Amino acid sequence: MVPGGTEVRERRGFIALGKLHDYADGVVHRHEQTLAKPKSDRMNLLKATRTHCEQIYMLYSDPAFTAEKLIFDDTPPEISVTDEYGVEHMLWGIADPKTINLLIAAMDDKKLIIADGHHRYETALSYKKEHAPTGKVESEAEIISEHESAVVPHEPLINGLPQPAYPESATMMTFVNMDAPGITILPTHRVVFGLKDFDVAAFLEKATAYFDVQPLDILTPVEEQARLAEAGKSGVAFVAVTQGARHLLIAKQAEIDTALAEISPRHRQLDVVQLHALVLENLLGLTQESIRQQENLRYLREASEVISQVEAGESDVAFLINPCTLDQLRDVAFAREVMPQKSTDFYPKLLSGLVLYALD
């Protein structure tokens, strides 16, 4: 069920080993920046366990629904687990070599977008490079032959199935067709704390340079998100949450186009880009490095938690934001642009530990 609503969705994908490519190879595309600490934590875990316990959530495009026709049916799942959000996760095993090879062939020309797992992917890529065999060519363009899949490992063959060139050269990925229904993107709200001499009135006055600022009645978190979603239908909008007050910020697009003229038109239309570039950096004075290090910024999914932290005096100001769309994400990723950190929250998360990739 989609959080905050009553709609029930089903998302399907398949888990496989995927080659680790540099972004420059043009096979795997990111869509957002990463943070320093999560990558350090993940590297420490990977070195300690020599095991990938989580998958990278990868998107690909296939309007013909090839994978769906090959592997999805009504067979009862081998494993079924319900998580803390009431989401049911079901797993089926695929053992037929012919089916697997057909699936590999179908994925041969696919470009991938990291939906969730940027930190894990970049950590795995660094680990791959640390463990490359002596004399191994590191350019994927030189490793891949013209007849070799660019997605699933293809050397050597064992029991007729392709394997990684060496264990660290691949990681687990869940491949989801972005042309299929069921993909859900939630917003990730921003909570700002530790600002020196923060003044609400002064901030709102400065914000009028780029936004139409409207006071709002204090509503329930669900009602406030609904009000924000309605405002967002006609353009970029945020709700600024301060102690005892709410304000709706509606973008003045002409002024924003001028202020962000060095950014591509595609990029400056994004809610999260305007929030970071104009509100967090320009109006509140946060630097890109402080944001990367999370010195004054927290990221939260639940609007109720955001509001609670502000009202409890644990933060200076917070911003409720609308989610980006799948079309926006696709356009940004394939243009090799990146959004700020935590721009998307794909729901539900892939569960850790149900499938493992042990390197030894």
Same domain, yes or no: 133 and 113: yes
Do the domain assignments include residue 8? no
Number of other CB atoms surrounding residue 243 within 10 Å: 12
Angstrom distance (rounded) from CA 322 to CA 360: 43
Coil, strand or helix at 161: strand
Same domain, yes or no: 98 and 238: no
Same domain, yes or no: 102 and 206: no
Do the domain assignments include residue 333? no
Number of other CB atoms surrounding residue 45 within 10 Å: 15
Same domain, yes or no: 162 and 237: no
Do the domain assignments include residue 207? yes
Do the domain assignments include residue 331? no
CATH number assigned to the domain comprising residue 314: 3.30.1760
Q: Per DSSP, which regions of the chain are E strands?
A: 14-19, 28-29, 51-52, 56-60, 79-82, 88-91, 112-116, 157-158, 161-162, 170-177, 184-186, 189-192, 211-216, 237-242, 245-251, 297-300, 317-321, 345-347, 357-358
Same domain, yes or no: 80 and 149: yes
Task: Give me the residues of the chain with pLDDT under 70, please.
Answer: 135-158
Do the domain assignments include residue 329? no
Q: What is the full DSSP assignment across 36-83?
A: HHHHHHHHHHHHHH-EE-S-EEEEE--TT-HHHHHH--SPPPSEEEE-
Looking at residue 133, its pLDDT comes to 86
Looking at residue 340, its pLDDT comes to 85
Looking at residue 103, its pLDDT comes to 92
- Report CA 182 to chain centroid distance, whole Å: 16
What token pair was written down for 53?
A: 């316990």
Domain coverage including residue 203:
188-322
Same domain, yes or no: 192 and 171: no
Looking at residue 156, its pLDDT comes to 61
Same domain, yes or no: 108 and 44: yes
Do the domain assignments include residue 73? yes
Coil, strand or helix at 91: strand
Strand 14-19 with 170-177, pairing: antiparallel
Go through 107-122 and write b for each residue having 16 or more CB atoms within 10 A of its CB, e for each that does not.
beebebbbbbbbbbbb
Angstrom distance (rounded) from CA 270 to CA 325: 10
Looking at residue 137, its pLDDT comes to 46
Same domain, yes or no: 114 and 242: no
Same domain, yes or no: 168 and 152: yes
Do the domain assignments include residue 270? yes
Looking at residue 294, its pLDDT comes to 84
Whether 103 and 95 have beta carbons less than 8 Å apart is answered as no
Number of domains in the chain: 2
Strand 317-321 with 170-177, pairing: unpaired
Coil, strand or helix at 228: helix
- Report CA 43 to chain centroid distance, whole Å: 19
- What single DSSP character describes residue 32? B
Looking at residue 135, its pLDDT comes to 55
Angstrom distance (rounded) from CA 352 to CA 237: 34
Same domain, yes or no: 46 and 151: yes
Average pLDDT of every residue of the chain: 89
- What single DSSP character describes residue 133? P
Looking at residue 144, its pLDDT comes to 39
Do the domain assignments include residue 334? no
Same domain, yes or no: 171 and 194: no
- Condensed to tens digits (0 to 9), the pLDDT of residues 140-171 reads 444 333 334 445 555 566 677 888 889 999 99
Coil, strand or helix at 295: coil
Same domain, yes or no: 167 and 44: yes
Looking at residue 38, its pLDDT comes to 86
